[in-house]
């Protein structure tokens, strides 16, 4: 059986104080990120290692990006989600300064709704296959403009002589720029 990371009775729970934050920052600046299990005791904190790691990664890291997501970040999240699905840590790895949880929350509260309003199914990123009250189907062109047209109840455009749903999907896919996403994970080479 695995040894617990901390003695529960001796650890603080709840909100972090400014003094605790400063102890963690000072320790990591001096010693770097290392063994999170032994860090709390070495830094003089009455917290468990997991709590220290999460506090650092999600709130205290100096490279964290704060504030609203930009349009470029939104489009990248949408494109990466189409390729990777709900693999938030892989998606966040392509957005410097953003955490996986922050990206996931932004997807669920903003971007999913945005796709639905465009008539795009947020699960498979296909046009015209999402049953919603949205009355327009939009195709994002490579220049960033949205081409929107009315959609009837079965998901087809109301325009006479309009393209079929599959033509819309292929136009949508061909209008997306190719992304170079090297997502390979490899073990470090051991010399010696």
Could you read off the pLDDT of 89-144 as tens digits, one per residue? Answer: 999 999 999 999 999 999 999 999 999 999 999 988 888 755 444 444 444 444 54
Backbone angles phi, psi at 163, to 5 degrees: -70, 155
Distance of alpha carbon 93 from alpha carbon 192, whole angstroms: 31
CA trace torsion 100, 106, 112, 113 (10° rounding): 170
User: pLDDT band for position 10 (50/70/90)?
Assistant: confident
What are 157's two structure tokens?
A: 């455009």
CATH numbers and ranges of domains, the chain: 18-60 (1.10.10), 67-180 (1.10.10.60)
> Which of these, 161, 112, 122, 115, lies nearest to 136 by C-alpha position?
115
Q: Provide the residue count of the chain.
A: 192
Alpha-carbon span 23 to 29, nearest angstrom: 10
Long-range contacts of 163-171 (CB under 8 A, 24+ apart): 165/127, 165/128, 165/129, 168/127, 168/128, 168/137, 168/139, 169/126, 169/127, 169/128, 171/139
Query: Each residue of 61-98: pLDDT tens digit?
Result: 998 998 899 999 999 999 999 999 999 999 999 999 99
Q: Considering the entire predicted model, what is its pTM?
A: 0.58
pLDDT reported for residue 189: 67
Kindly report, residue by residue over 173-182, the tens digit of the pLDDT: 445 556 666 6
Counting residues of the chain whose pLDDT is more than 70, the rounded percentage is 62
Average pLDDT over residues 6-35: 88
């Amino acid at each position: 059986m695995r040894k617990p990371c901390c003695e529960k009775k001796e650890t603080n729970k709840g909100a972090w104080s400014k003094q605790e934050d400063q102890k963690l920052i000072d320790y990591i600046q001096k010693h770097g990120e290392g063994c999170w299990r032994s860090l709390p005791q070495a830094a003089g904190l009455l917290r468990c290692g997991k709590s220290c790691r999460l506090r650092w990664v999600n709130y205290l890291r100096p490279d964290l990006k704060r504030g609203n997501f930009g349009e470029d970040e939104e489009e990248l999240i949408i494109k990466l989600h189409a390729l990777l699905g709900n693999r938030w840590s892989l998606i966040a790895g392509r957005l410097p300064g953003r955490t996986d949880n922050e990206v996931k929350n932004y997807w669920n509260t903003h971007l999913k709704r945005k796709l639905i309003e465009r008539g795009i199914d947020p699960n498979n990123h296909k046009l015209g296959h999402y049953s919603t009250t949205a009355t327009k189907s939009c195709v994002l062109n490579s220049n960033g403009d949205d081409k929107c047209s009315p959609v009837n109840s079965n998901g087809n455009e109301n325009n006479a002589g309009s393209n079929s749903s599959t033509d819309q999907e292929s136009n949508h896919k061909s209008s997306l720029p190719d992304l170079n996403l090297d997502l390979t994970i490899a073990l470090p080479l051991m010399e010696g």
